[in-house]
Amino acid sequence: MADPRPLGPDSLMWRYFGDWRGLLLALWAGSMQNMHPGLGAGVEQHSRFFEERWQRLFRSLYPIGGVVYDGPRAAETARRVRGYHDAIKGVDRRGRRYHALDPDTFFWAHATFMVLPILINEHFGTPFTEEQKERLYAEGIQWYRLYGVSTRPVPPDWSAFRRYWDHMCRDVLEDNKATRDVLDIERIAKPPVLRWLPDPLWRWARVPFARTFVWLTVGLYPEPVRRRLGLRWTARDARMLRLFGRALALAWRLVPFDLRYHPRARAAWRRERGRVPVDAPLVETPARNLPPVERRDDP
């Protein structure tokens, strides 16, 4: 089989995956991923995510986004991301063996990323047509092939993926400690963008911030997931989410193009438009997002 082609600026993934609105789905993506038995066990037993939530989130955006946006260097970025998962394996609380590179586990994490642009546009923009979803899904498979992980669990088309997604949400995902820990953000540290805010003010503000973020996440869950987690979502909640989404969609039209994107994506658009050299160094996460010095060689 020929080497998979990287995605380019003509793709829907380029247009939407690196969109800053995706941060509104960070809690959704993390919790949906952790509900997978193997992935949740790996996070519970191996991850230090809960010690440095914001730093881990923002430094992960760079290589994951790079597999979409790095053009001729995307395959190299994909190998790097895959390498982070080599040693994440073990036995969970119920005696089930797991490995982060098991195709079923790895594809589930990828599937949540493929769904992100659809949710962004469904709730905070202009919903995709079914034809666009077909195209986006095909691009997601093209992206997944760059990792070199088996495509055995990958549904062949959008219709089959919808059945896969429903099966996962109804029959496979679990309510586990890793998921509940992700959703427990009432004591979360200040996000880097608010580092200027005095600590006492953040301690006052973080409770409504956390509750609003969790509320938004609950609204984005598929109904079977809400039932699995015992979470309530009312008709009034749904109306409020629609109003919030419409307001954000209108406001987003006023944001300049470059400012809509994460730095790795923004750099890719600039390379494509000739504003920086095509071989310019890839944009990496700022030092403030790096782990403690003694753990920087630990994948």
pLDDT at position 2: 60
Q: What DSSP state is assigned to residue 102? A: S
pLDDT at position 146: 97
pLDDT at position 107: 98
d(CA 15, CA 9): 7
Q: Closest Cα partner for 109 from 84, 76, 135, 75? A: 84
pLDDT at position 99: 96
Beta carbons of 168 and 108 less than 8 angstroms apart:
yes
Tell me which amino acid residue 73 is: R
Per-residue pLDDT of the chain (299 residues; tens, 9 = 90+): 567 899 999 999 999 999 999 999 999 999 999 999 999 999 999 877 667 888 888 889 999 999 999 999 999 999 999 999 999 999 999 999 999 999 999 999 999 999 999 999 999 999 999 999 999 999 999 999 999 999 999 999 999 999 999 999 999 999 999 999 999 998 888 888 788 899 999 999 999 999 999 999 999 999 999 999 999 999 999 999 999 999 999 999 999 999 999 999 999 999 999 999 999 999 998 888 887 776 666 66
- The model carries a pTM of 0.94
Q: Which residues contact 107 (CB under 8 A, 6 or more apart)?
A: 144, 149, 153, 154
Beta carbons of 155 and 105 less than 8 angstroms apart:
no
pLDDT at position 194: 84
Q: Closest Cα partner for 264 from 1, 5, 3, 22? A: 22
Beta carbons of 116 and 17 less than 8 angstroms apart:
yes
Q: What DSSP state is assigned to residue 24? A: G
